[in-house]
Amino acid sequence: MRAAPALSGRTSSIPTTRLRAFGTTVTLAINQRDLLLRAEAILRDELDAVDRTCSRFRADAEIGLLRSAGGTWVTVSPLLFEAVALACSIAEQTAGVVDPTIGSALERLGYNRDFAMVPAMGDPVDEPCTPAPGWWQVDLDPESSSIRVPDGVALDVGATAKAWTADRAARRIAASTGSGALVSIGGDVSVAGPPPHGGWPVGIAVDSSTSEGTMPVVAITTGGLASSSTQVRSWRRGDRAVHHIIDPATGDCASDLWSLVSVAASNCVDANAASTAAVIWAESAPERLEAMRLPSRLVRRDGQVVTVAGWPHDDLGATVQQHAGEA
């Protein structure tokens, strides 16, 4: 992971629109108001393409072909190949802490459909948790654009796909319109092109759908910012609270020591990988993020805030204009 962009505590008024995709809130902001509709069309195209390719919740999604292939090679589209290859690369970079082979673990906990349809209360989990099979079992052949996944292994590329889509959409919008753009998908934020004066303001919140209240705000000029939370995509199985961030080493929910982790990096994919890994790293997260020189803000369950690597002090009086959270 490369050096992160500089952060500050500035806000401004920017043309913005919101929509729903990937079961979460998507925010688009652009420098020039007359280009907003054009930018939104590009964003919708990117969201639709990735959803049709990578969603665990669509019966017609291309990624389902890998699971039904019974461990044989499958020739896939360039988009799916890139998505799976990226997920495996992030797994390697994080030493397996962010691993795409956690699909079965999520299903075991009941996260087998769009989150809005997951029951808030479910029966106790009867099956024991087992470690994720491991990203290294996924074979990739770039020459033929083919992938082989062991029989019985379910992939979930959601940990990287939202951030990857944000990066793709922001870059494409900036290149097509010549305007600076910000794309936030459930709190995975990517910016491209010339930023507004003072940078793109991003409010840090547990829930990216929140549109009221005051909370810490930072501004980024390049790269990405991602937040991972154990509080938003959570539900109950029996008398136990569970959430969507899985520790591949156990196949169970990661520790909820941190209720929210926000990280800035040179792109949204790297920021998301670090924020997700930080939740799983638990107590060692601040030291690891400091060593990686990634500006980060970590909030404990009791509300205590820890910042590292130059993340600015909270400006609790600032008005939120963009929201990060719900990764």
Cβ 30 vs Cβ 15: under 8 Å: yes
Please tell me the predicted confidence (pLDDT) of residue 126.
76
Using 50, 70 and 90 to split pLDDT, how confident is the model at 38? very high
Please tell me the predicted confidence (pLDDT) of residue 76.
97
Does residue 195 carry a pLDDT above 90? Answer: yes
**212-231 average pLDDT score:** 81
The CA distance from 204 to 221, in Å, is: 16
Higher confidence at residue 5 or residue 196? 196
Higher confidence at residue 251 or residue 190? 190
- 3-state per-residue secondary structure call for the chain: CCCCCCEECCCCCCCEEEEEECCEEEEEEECCHHHHHHHHHHHHHHHHHHHHHHCCCCCCCCCHHHHHCCCCEEECCHHHHHHHHHHHHHHHHCCCCCCHHHHHHHHHCCCCCCHHHCCCEECCCCCCCCCCCCHHHCEEECCCCEEECCCCCCCCCHHHHHHHHHHHHHHHHHHHHCCCEEEEECCEEEEECCCCCCCEEEEECCCCCCCCCECCEEEECCCEEEEEECCCCEEEECCEEEECCEECCCCEECCCCEEEEEEEECCHHHHHHHHHHHHHHHHHHHHHHHHCCCCEEEEECCCCEEEECCCCCCCCCCECCCEECCC
For 48-103, the pLDDT digits (tens) are 999 999 998 888 999 999 999 999 999 999 999 999 999 999 999 999 999 999 98
For 243-279, the pLDDT digits (tens) are 678 899 998 888 889 999 999 999 999 999 999 999 9
Please tell me the predicted confidence (pLDDT) of residue 59.
87
For 198-221, the pLDDT digits (tens) are 889 888 876 655 544 346 788 899
According to DSSP, the residues that pair with 281 across neighbouring strands are none
Q: Please give the angle made by the CA atoms of 278, 282 and 288, to the nearest 5 degrees.
A: 55
Does residue 7 carry a pLDDT above 90? Answer: no
Please tell me the predicted confidence (pLDDT) of residue 286.
97
**178-194 average pLDDT score:** 95
pTM for the model:
0.88
Domains and CATH numbers, the chain: 7-324 (3.10.520.10)
For 138-147, the pLDDT digits (tens) are 999 999 999 9
